[in-house]
Amino acid sequence: MQLEDKVIIVTGGASGIGGAISKVLVRRGAKVIAVDVDEKAGADLQNEAGGSLTFLKGDVSQQETADAAVDAAQRKFGKLDGLVNNAHASRQASFTDLDQSAWDLSFNTGFIATRQFMLAAYPLLRVNGGSVVNFGSGSAIVGQPTQAAYASAKEAIRGLSRVVANEWAPDNIRVNIVSPMALTQGVKAWSEAAPELYQQSLSKVPLGRFGDPEADVAPVVAFLLSEDARYVTGQTLMADGGANKVY
């Protein structure tokens, strides 16, 4: 299998895009540490995956959560091969209406969490090399209205990823970014709250639909974690039906 015996941490790994990623990685042979605040979703996923997945409840903005996830990988599976920084919470409002708490939420669960998990994972990843997959967003690339805090954190993540891809290359650790457009529960809620913006976004997708988290986005992440992508680093892969272009 593509990821047989790989040990991978997935943040926000119990539901949504993260849950889809966890399922696909297990299906392809990986052992997964799924980190999430949703205890019920995590327990359900762990029961479904059996011994191939360990659920860890934790707030990704806290350093101790990152440390605990890496420790769990070491204790349960003896190594760490990959890290997927998927978790990110945010609130949408026009730039002038975003208060400090909205900025703190987006940066703490997005950029800060990504930095902390990468630093915690590095000592194990450098042993045999490995792969980090971080998440960007088309809303940042095109400047989507109401997404200032989220977009800013996502572009900070992309900048960090490109730098670390260069710094960690001698350790054979690859760092890449996936920018998805997927029909998650959050996107469904957004489509109801802002139907005009949703339709504008949908109209720009050449393939004519938002992607399915499990069928369209998770396999791209699995590819980047696998040896098939051994010569790919520092890249942004747009899993968005052609909606946005990065040159």
pLDDT per residue, tens digit, the chain (247 aa), is 799 999 999 999 999 999 999 999 999 999 999 999 999 999 999 999 989 999 999 999 999 999 999 999 999 999 999 999 999 999 989 999 999 999 999 999 999 999 999 999 999 999 999 999 999 999 899 898 889 999 999 999 999 999 999 999 999 999 999 999 998 887 888 789 888 888 988 898 999 999 999 999 999 999 999 999 999 999 999 999 999 887 6
Integer angstrom CA distances of residue 160 from 11, 14, 166, 219: 18, 25, 10, 23
Q: Which tokens hold the place of 44?
A: 């359900």
State the Cα–Cα distance between residues 36 and 60, nearest whole angstrom.
Answer: 8
In the chain, what are the domains?
7-237 (3.40.50.720)
Q: Which tokens hold the place of 180?
A: 């998805």
- 27: exposed, middle or buried (C-beta count within 10 Å: 0-12, 13-18, 19+)? middle
Catalytic residue set: 150
Note the pTM of the prediction, 2 decimals: 0.94
pLDDT given for residue 59 in this prediction = 97
Strand ranges inside 39-127, DSSP E = 53-57, 82-85
Answer positive or negative: Cα dihedral of 236, 79, 120, 164. negative
pLDDT given for residue 193 in this prediction = 85
pLDDT given for residue 64 in this prediction = 98
pLDDT given for residue 247 in this prediction = 62
